[in-house]
Structure 1
Amino acid sequence: MVIADRSFARRRLLTTAAAVGGTALLGGTAHAAETRKKAWPDRFPLPDGFQPEGIAIGSTPFAYFGSLANGDIYRASLATGRGSVISEGPGPGHPSVGLKLDRHGRLFVSGGAGGDLRTVDVRSGRIEKTYAVGGTFVNDVILTPGAAWFTDSFLPRLYRLALDRHGRPGAVTTVPLSGDWQQGTDFTANGIERTPDGSALLVVNCFADGGTLMRVDPRTGAATAVELGGAALPNGDGLLLVGRVLYVVQQQQNAIDVFRLNAAGTRGRAIARITDPRFRIPTTAAAWGDRLYLPNARFDVEQPAPDTDYDAVAVPQV
């Protein structure tokens, strides 16, 4: 793995005898926890032929992966790497692409070429509801306090699934994209996130200016290009925001480009690029502890077969 331009915070040392004694006790506990965490696998297999794309991690150390092959949902323990299919998908032609998990155990699923979005109860594995939105490729999803937002890769619009104060889904509305948004003749919108201050949405546009990041007003759909200091995102896929640090998975480049954003998400500067020889076209990322977890989608395999192998890998956060 290669990480460029990293900066590290300095640790303060406590100087009084009492503080040192207390720190020694806490340090022993921290060391034991760190030892256990280091024993967690940084690579683990996914089912052969699964064709993973999206990943979601909630408040417990389990990762959920969606299948492009048939929409199945697979759950893996981050501690052991072992897992199983916990929800059967609708079948071929109805993939599970982008995923997000809320605090109620509800998974929000982008239905890709199936032109729908779904909610899944991860405790029972039951598909709660399917919303047919008539989309051409419903790609990725992000949760905000009042809604789940989905991108469509071939149409200049977002889908807003309303959520009540208990997180229960309501109606779906369509929000057309305007302003700086440029819709290409091919794959255009991809990953979606919130700005650090939560005031707007961030959407990858793979077409405009060779690939860029757009800041979208959720009330109007008006998009403004984010100033990234000349950086391009031609293969930008999944987005992950941790504080003000934005991770952009550049799938075909086998890399994650890392930016530090201002609070409003109008500007950002590149601070790192993460590469790893274990990357085999990763698509999306989710965080647990100080790690990022990514599924290898292996889009370089022209005709995936039932025995095509897939896996997920972990790398340190910047």
Structure 2
Amino acid sequence: MERSYARRQVLGASAALGAVALLGGTAQAADRDTRIRPTRFALPNGWEPEGVTIGFAPYAYFGSIANGGVYRVDLATGEGKVVHTGLGRQTIGLKLDAWGRLFLAGGSSGELRVVDARTGELLASHAVGGTGSFINDVALTEDAAWFTESLGARLYRLPLGRHGRTGEPETLELGGDWAQSGFTANGITRTPDGSALLVTNAAVGGGSLMRVDPRTGVARQVDLGTTTLPGGDGLLLVGRTLYVVQPTPNQVDVIRLNRSGTHGTAIRVIKDDRFDLPTTAAVYRDRLYLPNSRFTAPVRDADTPYDAVSVPLVRRSTAT
């Protein structure tokens, strides 16, 4: 069963590579010279970014806590435009799929939304959480979009069928080692072999990583040795290297996982003077792109400036 699940992950990744046209870019655009890509670029004033996603083409999409919109940036120039104006409600995490759709986690609205990345059209909206809900982040597998619920011990699954069809949301209750205490779950991704999900948990062990069985909801704490993740936010998996963004303490922890995601070893911590509480990360070629949330800024209003920065990926040869 796990081998089949992992194989579907590979097939899904292959499909994504063939979807450049759907994502508003071309193969020629993806092959533009990367030596001059800006490593810092502005986002709209007052945007309040939290999530970021990047597909095969060199375009990054940033969600807005302030208005729920989506802002697209050309990574070759740093220039951008609003592609989805939002609904006046939050967008926290977001992911782009092979069909050119953005899956948006709706934060305190309790919604899962699907938006056309090219036109900005709202394709679907599902209310899954009531008062006191916070839909935080999203991860894509070949057959589902998975969303974290920060204020409850559950995940939401939006099935993805043939030809990109979406089904009705399902709820997966979490058990096993999972403990819930206030704002608990945050980032989510899959294990390297695709057999399970990885979710941050702020309530266990001073901040930990949980491996969740996507069929049963049973969670087991990942063995990270003495490493803790007190501010664990966005998760990004590149091969077997997991990047854990921690706005507090303003860094990215880099962890080398085994294939099944049951064990991990900390190999590096990325710090940068340009970090201002980054929350999530996405990858394009050899670099990570991170939005600065500025959560602790004295004033956060329509005039507050925001930006995003990029840092190099950790090379395996330097992971000591």
TM-score, normalised by the number of residues in structure 2:
0.87
One-letter code aligned to 2:192: P
Judge conservation of contact 2:241–2:254 (CA < 8 Å) in 1. yes
One-letter code aligned to 2:76: A
Q: Which residue number in structure 1 is paired with residue 227 of structure 2?
A: 231
Q: Which residue number in structure 2 is paired with residue 4 of structure 1?
A: none
Q: Which one of the candidate residues 242, 249, 253 is aligned to 1:246?
A: 242
The CA deviation string for residues 51-91 of structure 1, in whole angstroms up to 9 with x for no partner, is 00000001100000000001010000000000010111010
The CA deviation string for residues 14-56 of structure 1, in whole angstroms up to 9 with x for no partner, is xxxxxxxxxxxxxxxxxxx999322110000000000000000
One-letter code aligned to 2:290: L
Q: Which residue number in structure 2 is paired with residue 150 of structure 1?
A: 147
Q: Which residue number in structure 2 is paired with residue 179 of structure 1?
A: 176
Task: Point out 4+ residue stretches in structure 1 off by more than 2 angstroms.
Answer: 33-36
One-letter code aligned to 2:246: Q
Q: Determine whether 1:256 maps to 2:256.
A: no
Query: 1:305: Cα distance to partner?
Result: 1.1
Q: Which residue number in structure 2 is paired with residue 54 of structure 1?
A: 51
One-letter code aligned to 2:37: W
Query: 1:134: Cα distance to partner?
Result: 1.6
SS of 1:38's equivalent?
A: coil
Q: CA RMSD in A?
A: 1.3
Q: Which residue number in structure 2 is paired with residue 287 of structure 1?
A: 283
Q: Which residue number in structure 2 is paired with residue 70 of structure 1?
A: 67
Q: Percent identity?
A: 59
Query: 1:167: Cα distance to partner?
Result: 2.3
Q: Which has the larger radius of gyration?
A: 1
Deviates more, 1:133-142 or 1:109-118: 133-142
Query: 1:303: Cα distance to partner?
Result: 4.1
Judge conservation of contact 2:32–2:76 (CA < 8 Å) in 1. no
Distance 1:176 1:58 in 2: 30
In terms of fraction of residues, the more strand-rich structure is 1
Q: Which one of the candidate residues 93, 97, 103 is aligned to 1:98?
A: 93
TM-score, normalised by the number of residues in structure 1:
0.87
Q: Which one of the candidate residues 286, 305, 314 is aligned to 2:310?
A: 314
Q: Which one of the candidate residues 295, 299, 317 is aligned to 2:295?
A: 299
Distance 2:150 2:127 in 1: 16
One-letter code aligned to 2:70: I
Distance 1:230 1:178 in 2: 23
Q: Which residue number in structure 1 is paired with residue 123 of structure 2?
A: 128
Number of aligned pairs? 283
Q: Which residue number in structure 1 is paired with residue 13 of structure 2?
A: none
